[in-house]
Every structure is written in structure tokens, then in C-alpha cells.
Chain A
């Protein structure tokens, strides 16, 4: 869990402070200085209408990270809600909900998002909504499977015997138990959503210019690849680092969850207590 906390913390810090650290406004153009290489005034150079590349990158951090966070938060809460209802209700409700998620899972998320955006029209809000709608089924499926597994455990049955309501059991036992694995999945999913946001913005369906976003910057600067490669390389690098960071964090959590053998000291303590 520590690995994730660090990665998420660093990105959150970047999203929070990035725009504050930017030397210029992201849409501050200067037609006297277009497509200039790195200099003291513009550390990463300027783009085709003379906007400071570094400032745009730093502002884009907030856009990219906040859209990813919103998509994940929405998909996760809705997915876990649907999964819990399916697992607890069972029967026909479970059947219907899981058929819906099966169908949704069979179609690539980006295709779903594209279809929804085709219907709703382009824009940042619509993109976030479309990606949420595309991403929730995986969370529903995962939490449903986990809850079905643990809801029959004796310790949950003991709580039923206390006369607890279903919502009590859900809140105190089931949701906290599925949250770990669901968050692991979410960290891995985050990398994918970063790429989706970039792709959709690149297609002109997501974040709209002049608001800077790494994917969209990368694509619109592609035409200057020959003369000013840094205009393409840096947004690409930022995206790559973000995706790798999330994947690395997801893997760490997954590894942390593999049980380790007891240390000699723990074994000795347990033996002593068993005899006491």
C-alpha cells in the first residue's frame, strides 16, 4: 500500500502545485517568439503561437490527473454499488446486472466511450462521464465476485445472527473487505484511463484546446516533430511516466498482498501464547 500512497501522493502534489509553479499562463501567446528552442526565458521552448511549453505541461498535469481521478472515483463507486447489490440480492437481480456487465466488458472501453461521446458530443465533462460509463463494469464484476465469496464466511453469518441489517453488514464488513483488491485494480486501470483521456483529447473529443492536456499537446505538436522534437517528446514522456508510475504502484500492492511466511520471532510468540 505504501508504494501506491507515494505514487498517488506525488501525482496529487504535481496536480496541485504544477499550475502554481508555471512561469507563464498556459494560453499566453507571443507571436514574436514561435517555435523557439529551450532558453532561459522558456526552459522547454515555445509552440507554434509562442506559448511557453513548460507552463502548458505544468497546467496539463492538473487536467490529466483530475480527469483520471474523477473517472476512477465515479467508476469505482458505481461499480462497487452495482456489484454489492448483485451479490446481496442474488437471483434474478444478480443475473440481469451481471449479464449487463458481461456485455459491457466484452466491448473495449474506448469503443464504449467513443459511442457515448458520439451521442453526447465532445467536451471534458462528457469525456469524463463517457469513460466512467465505460469503466464501471470491471469494478462491478470484481466486487460482486469478492462479496459472494465472503458473504458466506462464518464471521459474516455471526453478524447476521446478531440481528444486523444487510446495509450494516455491507458497510462494516463487505465494502471494507473488497476495497483493497478494488484499489489494486484501480491503480492498474489508472494508467489505461490516462491513455484514454489522451487518445480522446487527441481525437478532439475530450479536453478542448486551448486547455492544455498532454495527449492533445503531443498530437497537435506532432507536425513539428522534425524541427522541434521536444514539443512532442516531453508530453510523451510525462504520459509514459504517469502510466508506468500507476502500473508500478499497482504491481507493488498486488505483491504486498501475497502472504509472507511468519518470522521466527512471530512463530515463537505464537507458540508461547498457545501454551499460555
Chain B
């Protein structure tokens, strides 16, 4: 089974701000690993390094033994698809110009799925996977609720058939009433698809319920979960 993610001593600075200060972690295939920490402690930056949107000053990220930070060109594009990100803010993570169907079709097009019929079929499957009706494909993001948008964000990430899914506070911008729904969608997916999940949040209870294991982060470093809970 694929999806072993190893983060090895990653450091990220923005000018004088040390955002990530030597983080190492190990995500086993099929595992849900929770990562909690206060706002500003470097969670998003770490997530961006893992998916390759941010280049660390030092440290490496391995997916099934391959160093992602060293990849370039076509190989980089190919491997990077296997690590997907669910963004914190579902609003800005969907193009306002595209319909939901077009948004979900794009990863299929990039991956080279030629047949239109196949793509339409796959879009319907993806919508179903996150518990949304196929009729949503013709809508634009503005016509959707926050919870629906975040499910589209999840579906888009899954369209690339990732081995690792990094979720950056996937429900923190949503109303309390729909948080549980969206969390359940994520948990069901782990059982249905072989995907490892790094679940980032500052809501400790939610992460503890959902995760196999929880790490705590503070000021750019990892500590034990106990410490983090005590400080609360």
C-alpha cells in the first residue's frame, strides 16, 4: 500500500519570522494523523511544504521513499499529484469563473483523460463520493453553501487519486452545524479509498475523535499532545 509520508527536519523562515522550526513526522499508509496547534504556529506553512507549494530552507519530504523537494520538471508534476491539499477557505479555493463540473473535470484533463464521456462519469462519481447530487455540476461556486464548497474542494483533491490527503483546517470556516457532516465525509473516504490523511486543526476534540494519532505543534515545533492539551 502506498502513502507513507516522511517529513524530515523541515525549516521555513519568512524574513525574520520562523514559521516552521525543524519539524519531522511520519505518516503511515492509511493512517489519519491529527496535527493541532494554535493559530500562527506554522501548520499551514508545514502543509504547503508537504504538498510542494512552499520550498523549505532546509529539510526534506519523502513520499514512499522519493524526495519530493528534489524533484523537477515532468517527474515533479507527476509525483506531486499524489499529495493533495484541501484548503482551509473553501471560498477562495474554487474558481468563481468555472462551474463545479469544470472544476472537477480539470484534474482529469490535466491527467490526460481524453474521453469526455469518461470525464463526465467520473465527475458524477466524485460528487457522489462527497455526498452531493450530480445536478450541482452545472452550478457555480457562488450558488453553493460553505459546506458544499468544501466538499467540492475534497472531491477535487480526490480527482487526482492521491495517496496522501493533507487537510488544512477543513471545517474551521464552516458553521458548527455542517462541520460534523463534512468530517464524516472525510472519514468515510479513508475507509473507501486507500488514502493517508494529515488532518490539521486547532479544534482538539474534533481531531482527536477522527485521528488514529495526534501531534501538537507550537511556535513552529512539534511537542507531545499532552503538553498541548494541558496548555489549553
Contacts and interface: CB of A to CB of B under 8 A. Distances in A.
A162 interface: yes
B111 A274 contact: no
B110 A163 contact: yes
B77 A165 contact: yes
Contacts of B107: 162
Interface residues of A, number: 21
Contact of A164 (B84, B110, B153): B110
Interface in B43-95: 51-53, 77-78, 80-81, 83-85, 87, 89, 92-95
Contact of B93 (A158, A164, A177): A158
Given A153-B92, A173-B95, A177-B97, A160 B144 contact: no
Contacts of B95: 155, 173
A159 interface: yes
Nearest to A276: B145
A273 B144 contact: yes
Given A163-B81, A273-B144, A155 B92 contact: yes
6 contacts: A155-B95, A157-B87, A162-B107, A162-B160, A163-B78, A273-B143
A176 B97 contact: yes
A154 interface: yes
Contacts of B92: 153-155
Interface residues of B, number: 33
B146 A274 contact: yes
B84 A273 contact: no
Contact of A168 (B51, B80, B110, B143): B110
A154 B89 contact: yes
A155 B51 CA distance: 14
Contact of B145 (A157, A160, A162, A273): A273
Interface in B134-173: 143-148, 153, 156-157, 159-160
A161 B51 contact: yes
A263 to B, nearest CB: 13
B38 interface: no
B106 interface: yes
Contacts of A162: 81, 106-107, 110-111, 159-160
Contacts of A163: 77-78, 80-81, 110-111, 160
A158 B77 contact: no
Given A159-B106, A273-B143, A164 B77 contact: yes
The winner among A157, A161, A163 for most chain B CB atoms within 10 A is A161
Interface of B: 51-53, 77-78, 80-81, 83-85, 87, 89, 92-95, 97, 106-107, 110-111, 143-148, 153, 156-157, 159-160, 175
Interface string A101-138: 00000000000000000000000000000000000000
A157 B87 CA distance: 10
A270 interface: yes
Contacts of B83: 161
A161 B53 contact: yes
Contacts of A274: 145-147, 175
Contacts of A177: 97
Interface string A136-179: 00000000000000000111011111111100100011001100
Given A161-B51, A173-B95, A173-B97, 7 more contacts: A154-B92, A155-B93, A155-B95, A161-B52, A161-B84, A161-B85, A176-B97
A160 B83 CA distance: 12
Contacts of A273: 143-145, 148
Contacts of A153: 92
B144 to A, nearest CB: 7
A154 B87 contact: yes
B77 A155 contact: no
A115 to B, nearest CB: 40
A172 B109 CA distance: 12
B167 to A, nearest CB: 13
A177 B92 CA distance: 14
The 10 closest A-B pairs by CB, nearest first: A163-B77, A154-B93, A274-B145, A162-B107, A162-B110, A163-B81, A155-B95, A154-B87, A164-B110, A154-B92
